[in-house]
Structure 1
């Protein structure tokens, strides 16, 4: 069967090839036929060995990457409930599990949720991994559909895949949102529901952001030592302040120092930052992706609503996946680009 593999972790180059079909699904596994997928920024990094002591402990090559997909159930293993062959599903797998860049693949049941007919293939193809990361960041900040209304929220990196989905969900929950993005992506984040927009290159505008909760999805600067948005929260004297960061140094630390040294280093950084934030009255959290079928099902319901804005900015045939994956500039922005088995 057709798959896209990483044969050399030094170059991390993705290429198409033929591989044996997977075995029947094991206990609590689902066998899936690919309909469409996408690229997450972590995928090309993992392909080159980033985070390998934690994410690819056996240094396995060839490696079939891929974190999310829309797929059709081909078969279910023993113990699987709530799914049947022929059903369309939303897929999100951790970098340790992965493998969606193949015509057929097996995943644990917790990576899969059924979807309604009103959720398009294109939207579902790019929703899973970034969407779960967004939901888990919102939860880490203490936000939910029950309490978000009227909260002042700033999303840094709002035009990326995770930021776009977090913006849509938080807007649905009623939060007042300041979206930080490049000037060229200001219209994109406004369409998704941002109340205010800020260009991250404008220091004065960044310093004037009015927010009590900050979700940071942007790449860090200066090895996580400089953080003007966290400094902004320190200057405020309001209840419920929170700072959540998905671009934390856990994976970079284990890449450089191995499992034990990397976890010890990043853990020390986290504890120091969390303690300092706590002393200033700020809730401080890092978020690492977790597989979660219930949260996937929630995302599927939200984005099946015809009133929900689309987070897909580009749609290409599956054959275009290697070129985009191997592009040193990384996945396109804004939102999500998707790659479909059937040409657009």
Structure 2
């Protein structure tokens, strides 16, 4: 009976080439109530993986019981179910599934991954395992921000959405989903990503190195920060007065403040900053949010539906074998990737 698997893990914080180790580790325990065991065929590199490897969020993650060592990073699930736990009826052994799990110390950079059944759904046959791995965590992170800002799929048609960072792994899928739902979408991108965003259907694309989007845009319903929080004031300036408008960011300072100043001082400073900003927008009847990834089965099913229709496609910049995960992290941190970096698992 098999008792071990290949995985990539780290036993300390540091640079990818120094701390990420490929080798044999014990298999996950059997799935418990509401869980499934997935034989991973692919996963992907998300910026949060690289940042966690360097120590980002260690204080708050430790409080949640998921900050210890050794760690297996990774959040995207794409593979076949090999075992189901008690209470799981909608999925069965042999199903090809995809989805994303919250950050943990038993992540997806491994041949096998234990995940809650509610966090995965059947993979559309139109998607390869590599393509399926490129979509869920990035999309669900941005979807959390969109919904926190007040965006709703059923009323998306005709709404005006600004996405800062349209050509990165999160931006490319979010741009496509918003367009598929009928929204008008403006994005920023680097010079190498401008054409990509146009091909994906963006209505307006601004090269962030040479153009100031805030000089050209006005009366937008939603602005979503996917890349650089320092432009928050500019993003808010393009919004029309509410209600039904909002700003949200997935790159807020909560974790970094707690890391550098401790739970009490850092947490208090983050709370004061957030509440001050939210009050300022509330006076203009706008939503304001600092958003985090959260599982959302309905959103995952929407994503699957749109990929089946062909209106949303995976955009993969490069693929690496599991044994080269450190190189994949280094490429991610170079900032050159357009789309997702996928790790294929034998």
Fold shared per TM-score above 0.5: yes
Corresponding residue for residue 7 of structure 1: 11
Aligned to 2:76: 68
Q: Contact conserved, 2:82 with 2:93, CA < 8 A, in 1?
A: yes
Q: 1:109 to 1:204 in 2, by over 3 A?
A: closer
Match of 1:241 in 2: 245
- Map of 2:225 onto structure 1: 216
Contact between 2:81 and 2:92, CA under 8 Å: does it hold in 1?
yes
* Pick aligned residue for 2:93 from 85, 109, 122: 85
Deviations 1:78-107 (A, max 9, x none): 112211111111120112365101111212
Deviation at 1:122, TM superposition (A): 1.9
Q: Take 1:332 and 1:238, find their aligned partners in 2: how far apart are those partners?
A: 37
Residues 316 and 338, structure 1, Cα contact 8 Å, conserved in 2? yes
Aligned partners of 2:258 and 2:162: how far apart in 1? 29
Alignment of 1:1-344 (within 5 A): 1-11=5-15, 13-57=19-63, 59-96=67-104, 99-210=107-218, 211-221=220-230, 227-233=233-239, 236-237=240-241, 240-327=244-331, 329-330=333-334, 332-342=336-346
Of 240-249 and 324-333, deviating more is: 324-333
TM-score, normalised via structure 2 length: 0.90
Does structure 1 retain, via aligned residues, the 8 Å contact 2:13–2:53?
yes
By how many angstroms is 1:324 displaced?
1.5
The alignment partner of 1:215 has SS state of strand
SS at match of 1:96: coil
Count of residue pairs brought into register by the alignment: 337
Give the distance between the partners of 2:103 and 2:270, measured in 1 at CA.
Answer: 19
Q: CA deviation at 1:138?
A: 2.0
RMSD: 2.1
Q: Return the alpha-carbon distance in structure 1 between the equivalents of residues 61 and 323 of structure 2.
A: 26
Cα distance, 1:73 vs. partner? Answer: 0.4
Secondary structure of the structure 1 residue equivalent to 2:151: coil
Q: Is the 8 A contact 1:64 1:98 kept in 2?
A: yes
Compute the displacement of 1:205 (Å). 4.0
1:259-285 alpha-carbon deviations (Å, 9 max, x no partner) = 343332212111100101111332212
User: Which of structure 1's runs of 4+ aligned residues deviate more than 4 A?
Assistant: 236-239
- Does the 8 A contact of 1:71 with 1:91 survive in 2? no
CA contact (8 A) 2:151 2:222 kept: no
Unmatched segments (≥5 aa) in structure 1? none
Deviations 1:131-154 (A, max 9, x none): 111222221222223211111111
Using structure 1 for the length normalisation, give the TM-score: 0.91
Question: What is the SS of the residue equivalent to 2:153?
Answer: coil
Does structure 2 retain, via aligned residues, the 8 Å contact 1:176–1:195? yes
Distance across 2 between alignment mates of 1:92 and 1:271: 30
- After TM superposition, the structure 1 stretch with the greater mean CA deviation from structure 2, 183-192 or 295-304, is 295-304
Q: Please give the secondary structure, in 1, of the residue aligned with 2:140.
A: helix
Looking at structure 1, the residues matched to 336 and 35 of structure 2 have their Cα atoms a distance apart, in angstroms, of 32
